[in-house]
Chain A
Amino acid sequence: MKPISRRRFLKLGAGTSLVLGVYLTGCANESLLQAIPTPPPPAPAPIPSPVPSPAAAAPTAPPMPAPSAPAPTPAPTGPAFAPSAWLAIDTNGVATITVGKPDMGQGVRTALAMLLAEELELDWQNVRVEQAPADRRFGNQMVAGSASMRQLYGPLRQAGASALAMLLAAAAQQLQVDAASLKAEKGIISHAASGRSLRYGELVPVARTLPVPASAPLKAAEHFRLIGKPTPRVDNAAVATGQAIYGMDVRLPTMRYAVVARPPSFGSQVASFNADSAKAVPGVTDVVQIGSGVAVVASNTWAAFKGREALQITWQAGPYGQLDSAAIAESLRAGVSEPAAASAAQLVEASYDLPYLAHAPMEPMNCVADVRADSCELWVGTQSPGGAQAAAARMLGLPAERVTVNVTLLGGGFGRRADTDFVEEAVAISQAVGAPVKLVWSRADDMQHGSFRPISHHRLRGGLDGQGNVVAWSHRIATPGIGGMGGQMAASNARLPYSIRADVDAATVPQPVPTWFWRAVFSSQNGFVNESFLDELAAAANRDPFTVRRDLAQSPRLRTVLELAAEKAGWGAALPAGQGRGIAAHVEYGSFAAVVAEVRVDGGAVRVQRVVVAVDCGVAVNPLSIAAQVEGCVADGVSTTLKSAITIAGGQVQQTSFADYGWLRIGEMPVVETHLVPSSEEPGGIGELVYPAVPPALANAIFAASDRRVRRLPVRAEDL
């Protein structure tokens, strides 16, 4: 059969759907995507009214309309002005900001672009945002540790300021005036004295010949037009029209679809397999063994699934076929050490248990790989473009620059997509069959064969003096840890943001269940344990949980968020019987959060009614996105407190979908109120900040409502 030419493919694609291109036009390397013209998305009408913000209290200014693709303009007349990898302005004045960090829902494509646009005085309506492939020029592209804004707040503003300095110098040259007499606004440089002005596009031919200054003055915060303005995501229109392209949506000519049959228990391996019945399924083209199992390759995803069902594999029983959750829990209890002895007027002891959790992003793992003789190209929603590139290069014995990684939107990440297992599978399969392949994980594959937030067991002993002051705090952890990073990582993360001398140690209790970074990593456990135990100590001392925290807060910024959350939540006001308020806080990533939750406990059921969150994350670049991250952390917190756990039986994960891995539904979502502390401090992280404080705030509220102390998650009816 004659292969479909690229051009032909584009024509085919255009009729039915706007294939690719919306997000990926910035691919620097030769790729299919580059050839596809960006289709103009249905232009959203200007947004006339302020966003009916879901009680996000912080936004103080009307929202900025999202940029839409500019109207078709004539072809540029010459090379663009591109003083850094992040920016290109063409002779028509169209500014393209290329974001190096992948977007998994945290909103970096919008917020990072705002930084450069701010300093460059761009018209936000005229900004195009593109996604960088893996490319060293963008520095560390990994999205993890709530670090993007902290890493790039300075560099992206500097890039914008430097570019502006060059445009001003070009304008000064062209107008024969002093650059200091010029003013830039919305993509136009004007000279007030003479009334003359030049558009950025007109300055491109001169500006691009000027040297990039080592530094340029940054704007003072009081002159910000974009930073601090609630700004809807640049991708909203594409998402709402179904044109946004995730890894799962990438389609290449001659591409085939692959699924992998993986072992039925941890440590089990393929002994032998018979591919005949799989190959008898119409559409199945290949059955190949790879490191993780047996791959079935077909002309569409459905045929690949059917082929996998038909495949006959004999598995070599692994050593963990009998492993179950009870045995794991027992080994953690046996492995934890005794908290330190304390002499105090009153001792309080408690132990806590947290389960394995799946990341379960809505988009199951997938990767498109095209392995050729001396190169490889990937299309993947990854949190780690460089990691994906390095993994493929290592497998294929290629230098990294021969591996192109096109980064799509991510249908959720939560840490999972920082791993490269699914990338390696796709590369192995494409190499084996000699064709471009889209590897697809089913939801059950994702639930059962992913890597999980580690389980942990905690023992604590605290002491109070005669006045009810906390004078001793000993915390012992047992956990398998993450990869080679065992319990010590959990211990080093268990510090308290309070004036309490904490003695913390951890034991590593290895388990065969794969573990990985999950939103907030070990703070997801330690936050619950610390803030629950502090509540237990406050109760034992007969003190108010809010005032205890306020008085012990080490940082004035922590004290402020505690006071703000308490005030907004009406801390201390009476609630009907069966209802209660709980408070908790978290300090990490250079940011501060306090959470007050209101719950109703009724006949063994918990209803979360309202969650008030106060955040100080320094300069709030995009308050609308910050509130979204807060809402997401609350949703995760309610889910993992009330519903979600991964359990093990017969050496494998028992859950296979959202039918048995419970997750929050719309009717269970509490009202979330986000209050931001105005700040001129450098931005801190926000994506993970609030999560660790939500489960303890809920558990403490359950205690206030019912006198029952929650010491294991998720909450069981019998614990209420």
Chain B
Amino acid sequence: MLQLTINGASQTVDAPPDMPLLWALRDILGLTGTKYGCGVGVCGACTLHLDGVAVRSCQLPLSAAVGKTITTIEGLATNGELHPLQQAWIEADVPQCGYCQVGQLMSAAALLAKTARPSDAEIDAAMNDNICRCGTYQRIRVAIKQAADATEARR
């Protein structure tokens, strides 16, 4: 039995310690928002936050997640209010098939938490390992900037 802190709640997981967090979330805890895309850490679909840092959950054994703060897409909105990025994603009509977008959002959220107004180069660097097979990159860039603007306006 492993004890995990996911989206602010303590969860007990009956799974081997080498199981990647991705599969414990999806198959055992029923948190299917985090997606399986490649299983080898090269597509970014499974991105979530571990202590606020964007990580690939397909490469993260459960043992390495114990004692850390895990935030998944299900926990990105707070107090019933969408994260500015989620709002921007909806308004800028970013998704096509949508499958990669959870990972894109989690990478973008980690970026904005660190860099309030990222430059194009900073966006390219932070988002480089999140593949979108539908080609929504242009709108992702627009939405990140829109969310940065909205966040600043709120301050």
Contact = CB atoms under 8 A, between A and B. Distances in A.
A45 B23 CA distance: 33
Contacts of A625: 93
Contacts of B129: 665
B67 interface: no
A140 B128 CA distance: 39
Given A19-B32, A47-B91, A657-B43, A666 B98 contact: no
Interface stretch (A144-152, A228-236, A575-583): A228-236
B61 to A, nearest CB: 10
Interface of A: 12-13, 16-17, 19, 42, 44-45, 47, 49, 51-52, 54-55, 63, 66, 103-107, 230, 232-233, 235-237, 239-246, 248-249, 251, 257, 282, 300-302, 305, 360-364, 409-414, 440, 442-443, 624-625, 628, 631-636, 657-659, 663-667, 669, 671-672
A363 B35 contact: yes
For the complex, would chain A's binding face be called helix, strand, loop or mixed by DSSP majority?
Answer: loop
B45 interface: yes
Nearest to B99: A411
A16 B29 contact: yes
8 contacts: A16-B30, A44-B91, A232-B91, A241-B33, A364-B36, A410-B97, A632-B135, A664-B135
Nearest to B16: A282
Given A42-B80, A52-B146, A412 B136 contact: no
B26 interface: yes
Contact of A361 (B36, B77, B82, B97): B97
B123 A666 contact: yes
Interface residues of B, number: 69
A451 to B, nearest CB: 17
B134 interface: yes
B16 A443 contact: no
A507 to B, nearest CB: 32
B51 interface: no
Contacts of B19: 300, 302
A631 B135 contact: yes
Given A54-B139, A248-B36, A628 B96 contact: yes
Nearest to A246: B99
Given A52-B146, A301-B23, A411-B98, A635 B86 contact: no
B97 A105 contact: yes
Nearest to A244: B98
A667 B128 contact: yes
Interface string B76-118: 1100111001110111111111111110010000000000000
B60 interface: no
The 5 closest A-B pairs by CB, nearest first: A242-B33, A635-B135, A411-B99, A105-B97, A242-B73
Given A19-B30, A362-B97, A237 B36 contact: no
Between B29, B40, B132, the greatest number of chain A beta carbons within 10 A of the residue's beta carbon is seen for B132
B145 to A, nearest CB: 8
A250 to B, nearest CB: 9
Contacts of B32: 17, 19, 242, 245, 248-249, 251
A47 B93 CA distance: 11
Contact of A631 (B86, B128, B139, B146): B139
A107 to B, nearest CB: 7
Given A106-B96, A412-B97, 5 more contacts: A54-B141, A105-B95, A239-B95, A414-B133, A657-B43
Nearest to B74: A242
A235 B95 contact: yes
Contacts of A107: 96
Nearest to B11: A16
A662 to B, nearest CB: 10
B35 to A, nearest CB: 7
Interface in B1-59: 15-16, 19-20, 23, 26-40, 42-43, 45
B62 to A, nearest CB: 10
A302 B15 CA distance: 10
B131 A665 contact: yes
Given A412-B133, A443-B43, A243 B93 contact: no
Contact of B82 (A42, A301, A671): A42
Contacts of A658: 38, 42-43, 131
A17 to B, nearest CB: 5
Given A300-B28, A631-B135, A105 B36 contact: no
Contacts of A249: 26, 32
Given A443-B38, A665-B131, A672 B99 contact: no
Contacts of B45: 362
Nearest to A299: B27
B135 A666 contact: no
Given A301-B23, A632-B135, A658-B131, A443 B99 contact: no
B135 A634 contact: yes
Contacts of B81: 42
Contacts of B133: 360-362, 412, 414, 663
Given A17-B30, A104-B97, A362 B87 contact: no
B102 A232 contact: no
A306 to B, nearest CB: 9
Contact of B89 (A236, A282, A443, A667): A236
B66 interface: no
Contact of B124 (A47, A54, A363, A666): A666
B132 A362 contact: yes
B65 interface: no
A40 to B, nearest CB: 11
